[in-house]
Amino acid sequence: MTVSSLLDGQGAEVLAKACASYQPGQELQLVEKLRRQYDAALVTAAVTQASLRHRAVAKFGDDAERMYFTPDGLEPATRSTVGTHRAQRIAAKLPGSTLVDLGCGIGGDLISAARAGLRVVGVERDPATAAAARANLTALGLPGEVVVGDAESVDVTPYDVVFADPARRADGRRVFDHNAYSPPWSFVTELLTRTACVKVAPGIPHDAVPDGVEAEWVSDAGEVKEAALWSGSLYGGSARRATLLPSGVGVSEAPEASTGPVAAYIYEPDGAVVRAGLVTAVAAAVDGWLLDPRIAYVTADALVPTPLASAYEVIEELPYKDKALRSWVRTQDIGTLEIKKRGVDLDPAQLRKKLAPKGSTAATLIVTRIGRDAVAYSCRRVP
């Protein structure tokens, strides 16, 4: 059974009942209950869809209750906050433009683009996934077209903007090498010779980005979600940019920064800032300096609120030795221990198990490297 079987008639009826009664972990019971009245294959499709909608709330919010998904289509779908940011950027540059989405999946980016006033066409090679994208536009009352086809065969010349989301999974596993994308990287770079936006993984190497193309790393609520490459009329004028959602704060310049000893506060840059190689922008924002030129920690004398980084008040420097750290945990009566690390071979979960915090207070331990030496700092996270 596919998404199409759930759009109307008895399929829509059983889907509504499955969604109304769905509880995580109770799928088998729900299937047994609904099979007393409906076809087994239809019930399985409906309960699967109810489960996917429940999972999709994290990405699509209230829209998830009306949307349709496939198991393979939900995982790579763009989170609505990120899709909205991207669509609004396109609409600000090229209002009312036509956009073709090559490899549109279940239509997450199509939805955002249509809501931003762009005229959209989605291309998806998998018929079941294309049906879900088409159903999602209809369910949300948005204009647009979805066709089944291969991205590499589409004539993109009639469109103002090309958006592409190359597949980054093979045999069910995530692909980290951009040269293993599908369509291939050569196809991506060819798209980027015109006005285009290509969604890529956050681990994209800086030297893989073509000249004249902007790479933008995006985080949402402090978690890096993805990167996008912007070209042609959408080029933002800088090689690299970090954008932090939901605030929308962006940074694209990396001024010079000095290095020096730890001060009263340590700042941990947002992951998008780190990925973009713009850590020194945090140093400039807080009038601080780097602990080590190769490590993404900034330190400063004063507490300066900035959306670019989280702040920690430094309580004391500690010897990076198990015995000394266990003593610190006991004497400080620590029970909740947050462990942050950069530049050291350390598994925070294993270290926490060794230190066995069982007290009543909370603390943060920052472990990093300065030069060749590992150092540790007892800190308090600043709200």
Residue 179 banded pLDDT, cuts 50, 70, 90: confident
Residue 122 predicted with pLDDT over 60: yes
199 and 126 assigned to the same domain: yes
Between 187 and 178, whose confidence is greater?
A: 187
Both 56 and 83 in one domain: the answer is no
Q: How far apart are CA 109 and CA 120, in angstroms?
A: 10
Task: Extract the tokens encoding 324.
Answer: 């000394």
pLDDT at 168: 72
Q: What is the pLDDT of residue 173?
A: 64
Residue 251 lies in a domain: no
Query: Mean per-residue pLDDT for 98-112?
Result: 97
Size of the chain in residues: 383
345, part of any domain: yes
Question: Is 339 part of any domain?
Answer: yes
Segment 140-158 shows an average pLDDT of 96
Q: pLDDT tens digits, residue range 12-26?
A: 999 999 999 999 999
Percent of the chain with pLDDT over 90: 92
State how many domains the chain has: 3
Same domain, 54 and 29: yes
Compute the mean pLDDT over every residue in the chain, rounded to the nearest whole number.
95
Q: Is the pLDDT of residue 244 over 60?
A: yes
pLDDT(171) > 60: no
Flag whether 256 is in a domain: no
Distances in Å between the Cα of 281 and the Cα atoms of 70, 239, 240, 253, 326 are 41, 15, 12, 7, 36
pLDDT at 43: 95
Same domain (yes/no): 230, 279: no
Nearest in space to 281 (alpha carbons), one of 254, 262, 305: 254
Same domain, 116 and 232: yes
- Say whether both 200 and 291 belong to one domain: no
**Is residue 257 situated within a structural domain?**
no
Cα separation, 103 vs 122, in Å, equals 7
Say yes or no to pLDDT of 177 above 80: no
Is the domain of 191 the same as that of 336?
no
Based on the fold, state whether residues 93 and 240 are members of the same structural domain: yes
Backbone region of residue 111 per phi and psi (left: phi > 0; alpha: psi in -120 to 50; beta: other values): alpha
153 with 292, same domain: the answer is: no
Indicate whether 88 and 234 sit together in one domain. yes
> Do 62 and 82 belong together in one domain?
no
Mean pLDDT on 32-42 = 94
* In a domain? residue 124: yes
User: 169 falls in which pLDDT band (50, 70, 90)?
Assistant: low
Mean pLDDT, residues 132-141 taken together: 97
Q: Judge whether 301 lies within some domain.
A: yes
DSSP-H helix ranges across the chain: 9-21, 27-35, 40-60, 71-74, 80-93, 108-115, 127-139, 185-191, 271-275, 279-286, 322-331, 348-355
Residue 150 has pLDDT above 80, yes or no: yes
Are 181 and 47 within one domain?
Answer: no
Containing domain of residue 158, as a range?
74-245
Per-residue pLDDT at 315: 97
Read off the DSSP letter of residue 211.
T
What is the β-pairing status of strands 289-290 and 334-342?
unpaired
- Calculate mean pLDDT across residues 73-98: 96
Reported as a single tens digit per residue, the pLDDT across 256-284 is 999 999 999 999 999 999 999 999 999 99
State the pLDDT confidence band at 181, using cuts at 50, 70 and 90: confident
32 within domain boundaries = yes
